[in-house]
Structure 1
C-alpha cells in the first residue's frame, strides 16, 4: 500500500476486517459493540489513510476492492500478531482460526461434525462457520474457505468438488392425507411449493430446480433450507428439499422420485494464500472425508 498505517489506524483496520467478513455495517457494528455511524466513520478514516475505496457495495453486501484486499492482508496480519493463534507447534498440532462461509444445510450435516472431529485432534484450532448460500465471491474477503453450490468460476483460488446431491419433492403424511398424493408432475399445479425466495436466489443450480415443474402457487418461501423443511413438515405445501436432509425426516414422503430429481453439487473454494495455511488445508481434507 502506498501509504503507511500507524497505530492510530488499528481500530479502523479491525472494523474494516469485521465488515469484510460480515458484509454489512450493521452486522459489524453489533459484533464490535458500536453503532452504524461509528463503523462508517472508521471506514472513512481508513479510506482517507490509504488513499482510496476499500469497500464497494454489491447486491449481496459490501465487498472488498483491489485496494481493500491489500488493506485486508495488513488487517489479518495484525490480527494474527495480536492473537498469536496461527503458529503451528513442532508436534504437528494445528492452531489458529479457520473461517468458512458455508450454506446452512452443508454446515449442519457435514461441516460442523467434520470441524468438531478436527478440533478434537487439534484443541488449539478455532473454527468460524459463517452461514451463506451464495455464489463464490471473486474477492473472497474475510474467509479462508467458501463452500458453494455449483461449480464456481473464480480467479486466484482453488476449487474442489465435495459432493453431488439431489433435490427432491417432499410432503408430510398429514399433507398428503388432506390433499392427496400427486401421481405426475402435471398434478403439482394444485399444490403450493415451499422453496427459496425467488428474488433472493442467485445460484443457478438452485434457481433451475423449478424449471421441470409446472407453475405452482408459492407456500412459504425462505432464504433458509431449514425453513423449507419446517414449512413442509407443517403441511404448508410440497417442498423442494435436499435428499440428505429430507430423507432423515420420518414424517416426510418423497414424491415422484422417478419423475423429479434435480442434481446439485457442493464445492469448496480457497484463496491461494489461505491454502498455504496447514489448518486451512486440514479443514478442506476434513470436509472431503465427511462427504466421501
Structure 2
C-alpha cells in the first residue's frame, strides 16, 4: 500500500519536470523527492517517470494516473478547508458555573445578549455557592469572586471588582431609623450569612468591624437574605449590583472600603482557544466591563 503523502511528490515532479524544482516547491531536499518517487513506484508496481539528464518525464502510466492524483489533491484540500471551517464555527455546549448572585445579576442578562450573537452555542448554567472543580471537568467556565485562583491548569481574567454596602428596607427605616455608619450597627438588628457564602468579603468585614451587632437571623442563600432584608427583619451587607436594583431596599452606607470582591472569569488552559468557549469568555468579559458603574456601587442609590 502506498503512502498518500507521496502523491504530493508525484504531482510536484510531474508539474515541474525535475526533482530539484519539485524540492524547491515542497521545501524539502532534492534527495527526499527522488526517494519518495522511488518508494511510490515500488508501492504501486508501475514506473511513473522516465529519468534523463533533462529531468523527469511522465510515462504513459504516469500520465493516466495524473488526473486521479489531482482529484485526491483537490479532496485533500477540501478536507483541510472544511476542518478549518469547523474549527472556526462558533457552536457547541458550554457548562458555566457561578454563584446565585452573579447568576441572577450578571449572567442572566448576558446570556440573552450572547444568544442573539451566537444562537448555535448552548450555555448550561450551574448555580452553586460551592466552587466546582474546573480542573477536573466539573464545568468549562467559572465566574467567581474571591482571591486569585491557584489551581493548576486554569487561566483567567480579573474583571471589575464587586462593591458591597449596608442595606435595609424602607419598612425598617420607618420603624427603627437608618444607621449611617459602622458604629451605629451596634444599635440595630443584623441579618447575617451562613454556609459557603459566609466567607465572602461583605460578611467577613461585618463580623470583624461589628462583632457585637445583634444577629437576628442568618441564611446560606443570597436571594433569601435579600428577601429577609426586604421584609424588614434587619440590616445586611450586600453586593451593590444586586441591592441597588431593588426599589424596596435603601442603602445605609457604603460602598465599604475593604469589602470589595475580586471578580474572576476562569477556564481550563486547554479550552481557552476553543472557538465557542473563547467567544463566550470574550463576550462575558465585555459585558462585565459595561457594568462597571453598577458593580462598583457608583450607580444611583436610594436613601430614605
Class of the TM-score when normalised by the shorter of the 2 chains: 0.5 to 0.7
- State the Cα distance separating 1:183 from its structure 2 match: 4.2
- State the Cα distance separating 1:170 from its structure 2 match: 0.3
- Equivalent position to 1:226, from 223, 226, 233: 223
- Is 1:267 matched up with 2:285? no
- Secondary structure of the residue aligned to 1:219 is strand
TM-score normalised by the chain length of structure 2: 0.61
- Equivalent position to 1:121, from 117, 121, 125: 117
- Equivalent position to 1:153, from 127, 139, 150: 150
- Secondary structure of the residue aligned to 1:133 is coil
- State the Cα distance separating 1:154 from its structure 2 match: 1.7
User: 2:127 maps to what in 1?
Assistant: 131
Equivalences, count: 205
Structure whose residues are more often helix by fraction = 2
- State the Cα distance separating 1:99 from its structure 2 match: 0.5
Alignment of 1:134-213 (within 5 A): 134-135=130-131, 137=133, 139-150=135-146, 151-197=148-194, 199-201=195-197, 203=199, 205-206=201-202, 208-210=204-206, 211-213=208-210
User: 2:286 maps to what in 1?
Assistant: 289
Q: Which entry has the higher C-alpha Rg, 1 or 2?
A: 2
Gaps of 5+ in 1: 1-86
- State the Cα distance separating 1:117 from its structure 2 match: 1.6
Deviations 1:88-124 (A, max 9, x none): 9559541110011111111122222222222212222
- State the Cα distance separating 1:184 from its structure 2 match: 3.1
- Secondary structure of the residue aligned to 1:273 is helix
User: 1:240 maps to what in 2?
Assistant: 237
Gaps of 5+ in 2: 1-82, 290-304
Q: Distance in 2 between matches of 1:280 and 1:258?
A: 33
- Secondary structure of the residue aligned to 1:248 is coil
Q: 1:131 to 1:206 in 2, by over 3 A?
A: farther
TM-score normalised by the chain length of structure 1: 0.63
User: 1:63 maps to what in 2?
Assistant: none
User: 2:30 maps to what in 1?
Assistant: none
